[in-house]
Chain A
Amino acid sequence: KAGVTQTPRYLIKTRGQQVTLSCSPISGHRSVSWYQQTPGQGLQFLFEYFSETQRNKGNFPGRFSGRQFSNSRSEMNVSTLELGDSALYLCASLRAPGTDTQYFGPGTRLTVL
């Protein structure tokens, strides 16, 4: 069974630009969560999608948004990039929200110049 895939693996953008990251969960998994990981803040929860609906949202500004498609693939978008958005963005998939174990993708390393 293929694992969680994230594309692209690396991105370099400049301030003010926008970026879209993609995540394909494990086949059969319908829940996708996104995290921002930085050395100083650890893993910060961004949002979770299940059956194309956002179920949970973390404390991030409205510049961070996401969506999920009918095939469970998810995208997250960051508009008007700031230097502080430089981070590793991790996607995790679950069969369903709640008690199940999350399986993480390799992450997308975003650098904002």
Chain B
Amino acid sequence: AQTVTQSQPEMSVQEAETVTLSCTYDTSENNYYLFWYKQPPSRQMILVIRQEAYKQQNATENRFSVNFQKAAKSFSLKISDSQLGDTAMYFCARISGTYKYIFGTGTRLKVLA
């Protein structure tokens, strides 16, 4: 079965520090898309960052960046200068060959003041 695995159910980080959330996935495809979504306590899920597998350069969006290791099938999210507003559930996801999104089980991140 094609899966996305987030091995850290919960994490915490001090404000202004850096935290890395892990994600691994299973696929036999060569071209695909990977995503990190954020779901704050208000429950609206929003896109944080996306990565196209054929691009070697890691995606970056302001304080958010990814470490994409295609051979290892790893896609971690790094949050720099963590802010209280980063407290949320973070989901890693990818699109399958049939264009179905597959989500990990999520990592609950708490940023501490």
Question: Are A and B associated in one complex?
Answer: yes
A-chain residues with CB within 8 Å of residue B103 when the two chains form the complex: 35, 42-43, 45
B38-74, CB under 8 A of A: which get 1 and which 0?
Answer: 0000111111001000000000000000000000000
Task: Write the nearest CB–CB distance from B71 to chain A, whole angstroms.
Answer: 22
Task: Write the nearest CB–CB distance from A85 to chain B, whole angstroms.
Answer: 18
Q: Is the beta-carbon distance between A106 and B43 smaller than 8 angstroms?
A: yes
B74-111, CB under 8 A of A: which get 1 and which 0?
Answer: 00000000000000000100010011111111100000
A42-B106, A43-B91, A101-B35 known; A56-B45 Cβ under 8 A: no
A42-B106, A104-B45, A104-B46 known; A56-B35 Cβ under 8 A: no
Q: Is the beta-carbon distance between B105 and A42 smaller than 8 angstroms?
A: yes
In the complex, chain A residues 36-62 whose Cβ is within 8 Å of any chain B Cβ: 41-43, 45, 48, 55-56, 58
A-chain residues with CB within 8 Å of residue B100 when the two chains form the complex: 45, 48, 56, 58
- Closest residue of chain A to B105 (Cβ to Cβ) is A42
> Number of residues in B with C-beta < 8 Å to the partner?
21
CA distance A101 to B91 in the complex (A): 14
Q: Is the beta-carbon distance between B101 and A97 smaller than 8 angstroms?
A: no
Q: Is the beta-carbon distance between A104 and B105 smaller than 8 angstroms?
A: no
Q: Is the beta-carbon distance between B106 and A98 smaller than 8 angstroms?
A: no
- Closest residue of chain A to B104 (Cβ to Cβ) is A42
The contact of B101 among A33, A41, A88, by CB within 8 Å, is: A33
15 additional A-B residue pairs with CB within 8 Å, beyond A102-B35, A103-B47: A33-B101, A35-B103, A42-B91, A42-B104, A42-B105, A45-B100, A45-B103, A92-B45, A97-B99, A98-B99, A99-B95, A104-B37, A104-B46, A107-B43, A107-B44
Identify 17 residue pairs between A and B in the complex whose beta-carbon atoms are under 8 Å apart, listed by A's number: A33-B101, A35-B103, A42-B105, A43-B106, A45-B100, A45-B101, A45-B103, A48-B99, A48-B100, A56-B99, A58-B100, A92-B45, A92-B101, A102-B35, A104-B37, A104-B44, A107-B43
